[in-house]
Amino acid sequence: MTPTRVVIVGGGFAAVQFAKTLRGKLSPSECEILLFNSENHMVFHPLLADVAGASINVDAAATPLRQMLPKVGCRTERVQRIDLAASEIAFEDGTGALNRLHYDHVVIACGAESNLSIIPGMTEHAFAFKVMRDAIDLRQHVVRQMEQAEASSDPDRRRWHLSFIIVGAGFSGVEVAGEINELVRSSTRFYHNFRKDDVVVSLVHPKDHILPEVAPTLAEFARKKMEKAGITLVLNTRAVAATHEGVELNDGRMLAGGTIVCTIGTAPSPLVQYLDAPKERGRILTQPDMRIQGHTNAWALGDCALIINAYDNKPSLTTGQFAERQGRQAALNLVRVLKGGPTRPFSFKALGELCSIGGYQAVAEMFGMHISGFLAWFLWRSVYLFKLPTWSRRFKVALDWTWDLLFPRDLSFLNSDTSKQFTHAYYRQGDFIQRQGDPARVFSVVEEGQLEVLVSDGPNGPERVVAVLGKGDFFGNAALLENRPHQTSIRARTVVRLRQASSALFSEMAGSFAPLRELLANAVTRNSDELWRRLPISKPFLDREPLTSFLDPVPGSPLRKDTSLGDAIKCLRESAAAGLMVLDENNLLWGKLDRRDLYQLVARIAIIPLDKRDGLTQRKLTDFLLPDPLCVTLQDSPFVAAGTMLQHGIAWLPVVRSLDHPEPVGYVREENIVDFMLRKVASAKESVATSALAPTEQPLQRRAESA
Ligand SMILES: Cc1cc2nc3c(=O)[nH]c(=O)nc-3n(C[C@H](O)[C@H](O)[C@H](O)COP(=O)(O)OP(=O)(O)OC[C@H]3O[C@@H](n4cnc5c(N)ncnc54)[C@H](O)[C@@H]3O)c2cc1C
């Protein structure tokens, strides 16, 4: 008889317990168990904070799956899709090829993923705290911050390096804040340039008390202990954005700090997102016995599932405790199904909660009792020690914890070369990305939003906007290539997302890719053509004229997002304009179709596979154009519009009411501005030249140009 094939997707609390229980009940000749996990180990999440705080070694919180489950087929592969109708999974093998595998029963226990995108800028600037890599990276980063603080001669910068911000005061936020605080404060005695008092660990939480999961008396105890240990609790406050400098709060304050850890925000794994099954808030809905609703051979467990607990008729909590019990009870149910017996609903009475708060203190709620302080901390350690999956891990962790009690924490870290990395950066409206005169450190490409280029009128004069940059533009290249300070300042005009390469990576790229080098060199030449450099005398009279003097009305029938490509090209052929605007359903500017873009469109179509080109001209414009076009607002001067067109080599520019409400009010054409400039220069050559040089209207200076 061929054994029943059970495929388990995931290798966390639920999956491991399921595999263990099932193997204990059925022999390999009765049941083939294949467990697919994207990592080859199980992560023991309750100890992640200890890894980040260097109180245990990295490998103590990760147990190799094949050593825990010797009689189970463990595969380190990510499952891409599950076809519940065909009873098949699809996964990528080591060569990148997609394989399909049939199953008799599938168990989905792939957990959830962290989702930092719920707060702008967190993805770019914060550490998530979910997988082992997060804890390792955070530990390395915290130690690197101490090293940089030691090396810094600027007290403000030193304080920034020593400021740590943790967002979210649930279990993981409190534990990680406690561990970082302990690691940094206990290590200050090995550094000479700062003291304990220079360390700032802040915990930001929207409610008026931390640890909403435990009883108020315990939460209050934890608050007092954490404050005594030097942690600043920022309560009743939300983080609304994160930038390179720190975290912006909803009351307008900016909490400065070089380390941000975001412990809030989860999202279903992509596997669950694409699964054709009933879901609620991203979690798979199951029947009481944990089979997916509407299916007889598919089960869902742990954080990815929404399972009603028959004990209290409430949805199960997303904790390791629940995941483990679900793993065990689902395996017993599967055995019942295979033996033709009735299944049982999931039912579990939670045992309690334990949370370490740093400094050998913890809070615990066990079997209805509240315990806090050192005793709770001892209990916390003992419980987790015995919950660890193998005896070798228990010994390892016990040894690490004993070591931590007797000796200082380990401050060594692998100095991986972070200078050659691509990073993402997020800036709020009004933030400066670079300042005129500063040394060049990064090459930036605009992924989203608009920026303005500013130049100062004279060495100490005010800065004025001279051009606008948008999606796809890049900057920093000229100063890096010429090894000189920036000649312009760049400021975010809207919320901006950038992709940045460090100077070391930029030099390597520019040095090794000939086409890229050429592109960057051409951009430098083009930039030296900027209006503010080439024709500074145009600024005074262009600035005095309102932009409305140059405004052409929006062409009669602008295109819509759902206009077909064929209709759009027809409109362009019938129109005298250089291009047409594309509006969204609220009549706001969405994109633009330029005559020059048509060749680009042909090139884009040429790379679409032949069998997918049918009906191309009927497809919507949005399939071919990029949203968020470069534009100026009614508040901009004609000089900014002219400078932007010249810098981008374009002949017209949409004008919108404001950046917050980008309703098109018309467009400006290069020839209208040039015509105006010609008339001004021809009619009052002398006075224009003189007024341009008058102290109040000085031409724009190129401050560092001679360098
Ligand atoms: C920092 C932290 C501290 C915590 N502390 C506690 C605590 O003290 N007590 C407690 O009870 N709970 C705690 N939890 C919650 C607990 O860890 C989770 O509830 C539990 O891990 C859920 O188990 P799971 O089996 O559903 O998923 P997980 O343990 O998350 O395991 C899912 C596994 O599936 C893998 N996977 C995902 N997609 C795929 C795919 N497509 N193919 C193959 N593999 C895939 C993942 O790599 C992962 O290994 C903590 C969580 C965190 C993040």
Q: What does the pLDDT read at residue 498? A: 94
Average pLDDT over residues 581-595: 90
pLDDT at residue number 649 = 82
- Rounded-to-integer distance, Cα 392 and Cα 337, Å: 35
Question: Per-residue pLDDT for 201 more than 80?
Answer: yes
Statement: residue 687 has pLDDT above 60: no
Tell how far the Cα of 131 is from the centroid of ligand 1, in angstroms. Answer: 8
User: Ligand 1 center to residue 307 CA distance, Å?
Assistant: 16
Nearest atom in ligand 1 to 78's CA: 42
The residue contributing the CA closest to ligand 1 atom 41 is 79
Confidence category of residue 697, pLDDT binned at 50, 70, 90: very low
pLDDT of residue 628: 84
Q: Quote the crossing angle between the two packed helices 514-527 and 503-512, to the nearest 10°.
A: 110
Instruction: Give the whole-number percent of the chain exceeding pLDDT 70.
Output: 92
CB atoms within 10 A of CB 696: 7
Q: Convert the pLDDT of each residue in 655-671 to its tens digit.
A: 999 998 999 999 999 88
Tell the residue nearest (CA) to atom 5 of ligand 1: 46
| Ligand 1 pocket, residue 303 CB under 6 Å | yes
**Residue 302 Cβ < 6 Å to ligand 1:** yes
Query: Ligand 1 mean position to 659 CA, how many Å?
Result: 42
Q: What is the pLDDT of residue 332?
A: 98
- Confidence check: pLDDT of 696 > 60: no
Q: Which two tokens stand for residue 494?
A: 């809207």
Distance (angstroms) between ligand 1 centre and the Cα of 302 equals 8
pLDDT exceeds cutoff 50 at 60: yes
Where residue 558 falls (left for φ over 0; alpha for ψ -120 to 50; beta otherwise) is beta
Average pLDDT over residues 463-474: 88
The mean per-residue pLDDT over the stretch 571-598 comes to: 86
* Mean local confidence (pLDDT), 614-622: 80
pLDDT of residue 533: 66
- Answer whether residue 247 shows pLDDT above 70: yes
One DSSP character per residue, 343-403 reads P--------EEEEEEETTEEEEEETTEEEEEHHHHHHHHHHHHHHSSSHHHHHHHHHHHHH
| 326-384 tens-digit pLDDT | 999 999 999 999 999 999 999 999 878 888 887 788 888 887 788 888 888 888 888 87
User: What's the whole-number mean pLDDT along residues 431-459?
Assistant: 89
Under the banding of pLDDT at 50, 70 and 90, the label for residue 428 is very high
pLDDT value of residue 650: 87
- 456 or 232, which is more confident: 232
Q: Is 130 in the pocket of ligand 1 (CB under 6 A)?
A: yes
Stronger pLDDT, 627 or 126, i.e. the higher one: 126
The burial class, CB within 10 Å (0-12 / 13-18 / 19+), for 563 is buried
The larger pLDDT score, comparing residue 574 to residue 180, is at: 180
Per the CB < 8 A criterion, the answer to whether 464 and 455 are in contact is: yes
Residue 678 neighbours by CB distance under 10 Å:
10
**pLDDT of 572 strictly over 70:** yes
CB 376 within 8 A of CB 361: yes
**pLDDT of 184 over the 70 cut:** yes
Residue 246 in contact with ligand 1 by CB distance below 6 A: no
**265: closest CA among 121, 412, 104?**
121
Residue 237 CA to residue 165 CA, distance in Å, equals 13
Residue 622 is classified by DSSP as: G
Please write the tens of the pLDDT for every residue from 115-162: 999 999 999 999 999 999 999 999 999 999 999 999 999 999 999 999
Q: To the nearest whole number, what is the mean pLDDT of the chain?
A: 87
Tell me the C-alpha distance between 595 and 129, whole Å: 48
What is the whole-number distance in angstroms between the Cα of residue 409 and the centre of ligand 1?
Answer: 27
Whole-Å CA distances, 662 to 132, 466, 639, 656: 44, 20, 20, 5
Of 319, 328, 366, the one to substitute when testing ligand 1's pocket (max ligand atoms within 8 A of C-beta) is 319
**603-622: average pLDDT:** 75
Q: Residue 261: which region, alpha, beta or left (left: phi > 0; alpha: psi -120 to 50)?
A: beta
Ligand 1 site, residue 10, Cβ cutoff 6 A: yes
Q: b vs e for 337-374, b when ≥16 Cβ sit within 10 Å of the residue's Cβ?
A: bbeeeebeebebeeebbbbbbbbebbbbbeeeeebbee
Atom of ligand 1 nearest to the CA of 176: 1
Mean pLDDT across the stretch 236-245? Answer: 95
Classify residue 550 by burial, with Cβ atoms within 10 Å: 0-12, 13-18, 19+: buried
User: What pLDDT does 655 receive?
Assistant: 95
Confirm if 32 and 22 have CB atoms less than 8 A apart: no
Q: 12 C-alpha vs ligand 1 centroid, how far in Å?
A: 5
Q: How far is the CA of 218 from the centre of ligand 1 (A)?
A: 25
Ligand 1 close to Cβ of residue 393 (< 6 A): no
| Residue 508 to residue 520: CA distance in whole angstroms | 13
Q: How many CB atoms lie within 10 A of CB 682?
A: 9
Output the CA torsion 41→297→104→68 (10° steps): 20
Q: Which of 7 and 561 is assigned the larger pLDDT?
A: 7
**pLDDT (0 to 100) of residue 705:** 31
Distance of alpha carbon 269 from alpha carbon 283, whole angstroms: 10
More confident residue, 376 or 97: 376
| Residue 36 Cβ contacting ligand 1 at under 6 Å | yes
Distance, in Å, from the CA atom of 647 to the CA atom of 658, rounded to the nearest integer, reads 22
What is the torsion angle, in degrees rounded to the nearest 10, for the CA atoms of residue 435, residue 439, residue 444 and residue 450? 10
Secondary structure of 51-62 as H, E, C letters? HHCCCCCHHHHE
What would the pLDDT profile of 509-529 be if each residue is shown by its tens digit? 777 777 777 777 776 666 655
Per-residue pLDDT tens digits for 477-513: 888 888 888 989 999 999 999 999 888 888 887 777 7
Q: Percentage of the chain with pLDDT > 90?
A: 54
Residue nearest to atom 21 of ligand 1 (CA): 320
Pick the atom of ligand 1 nearest to 36's CA.
43
Residue of higher predicted confidence among 213 and 316: 316
8, 37, 179: residue to mutate for ligand 1 pocket, most atoms within 8 A of CB: 37
pLDDT at 162: 97
Of 81-85, 116-120, 465-469, 676-680, which gets the smallest average pLDDT? Answer: 676-680
- Minimal-distance CA residue to ligand 1 atom 1: 172
- Give the closest residue to 174 by CA, choosing from 216, 257, 130, 231: 231
**Closest-CA residue to 269 (of 6, 48, 80):** 80
pLDDT for the residue numbered 289:
97
pLDDT of residue 515: 73
CA of 44 to the centre of ligand 1 (A): 8
Predicted pLDDT of residue 534: 66
How far is ligand 1, taken at its centre, from the CA of residue 528, in Å? 54
Instruction: Check if 590 has its Cβ closer than 6 Å to any atom of ligand 1.
Output: no
Taking Cα atoms as reference points, which of 170, 200, 160, 165 lies closest to residue 184? Answer: 200
Structure tokens, 270: 């992509």
What pLDDT, on the 0 to 100 scale, is given for residue 366?
Answer: 81
The pLDDT-based confidence of 680 (bands split at 50, 70, 90) is confident
Does residue 445 surpass a pLDDT of 80? yes
